[in-house]
Structure 1
Amino acid sequence: MKKAVLLFSFGLCLTVFAAEPVAPKPLNTTCPVSGKAADPKITWVYEDQTFAFADEASRQKFEADRAASLYQKLGGKAALEAAVELFYVKVLADKRVNHYFEDISMIKQKRKQKEFLAAALGGPNPYVGKDLRTAHADLDGLNDTHFDAIAEHLQATLQELKVDPALIAQAMAIVGSTRDAVLNRPQSAKP
């Protein structure tokens, strides 16, 4: 499964991202695990990005957390990029929701979606974009039907990419947990 997803995403990334040079991120100065000052001698490279840590225990925890993340189990950055590209093909063909994307830059939208999903699924970088309520506040008439259509397309995309059904269920649970924020409703009471 991972080989098929990676091969698909590799080909897709070559065509979609060939014109987008990516500058390397500067080395972080704060440890992503402990929040303490990072030691530039204690590093780990993950998906072509070098992370610095305060100590070896923090580096090991970060590495273990990446390996155990849903993000990594789904195939990491390359698989997520392929999924988002295929997902938006479905979304833009759907008359129930495509009007919400008429006047926006799909290049920016896809980039933001990849960043958000990566963080939500346990990727290495925190999401720094708008929160879901703010990002969806101006979408007139947005309701459960629209949310369900988007979720349906994500699930169909993951199924098409032959992702394990147990991983799809985990991803869909995370997506479902965002419903109140996306639809600007009061937060559901936690049990």
Structure 2
Amino acid sequence: MKQMNRQTGFAAVEMTLITPFMVLLIGGIIEVTQYLQASSILIGVTREGANLVSRTSSTEPDDIMTLVSKTTGTLDLESDGIMYITLVTGQEDDDPYVNEQYRWSDSGLVHTSSTWEECASWTDNQCDIDSPPPTLDDFPISLDPNESVYVVEVHYQYVPLSSFFITSSFIMSDITYL
């Protein structure tokens, strides 16, 4: 009987020592899984937005951004996100220029576009671009003259489930060129 109580005592001590590490491990796995899911959703949203905007001429970019924002599942872009659609056009013997830029943000999240962040004035979520249009000297794609590409970018304020390791929210972003 004494031997049985001793083994039970050792098991209780072992469990007490291992439980905090197991809880941290499981919590970390859950947090990483949530982050990867959010990242996957952002990639899908930018790709679908770029696909839709490049294939249609009758639907406004603002309507496309509203549509794809509703397909985010667990991510709530309407409260924690902002999207940009930028049309960039190549020109001969010069850097490509910003032809159009649209912004969608029902959330109030303030985050500038990674493609072109210098829009000074917005009218109905469309940038009022001065003439001559601004050029992009660091655009990552080489464009032929009059060749255009839509750049769709989504920025999302990710809030971790727990604050053990990450104490504050941060911005996740994804960009698709099409």
Both structures adopt the same fold (TM-score exceeding 0.5): no
Q: Which has the higher contact order (CA 8 A, sep 6+)?
A: 2
Compute the TM-score of the two structures, normalised by the length of structure 1: 0.22
Compute the TM-score of the two structures, normalised by the length of structure 2: 0.23
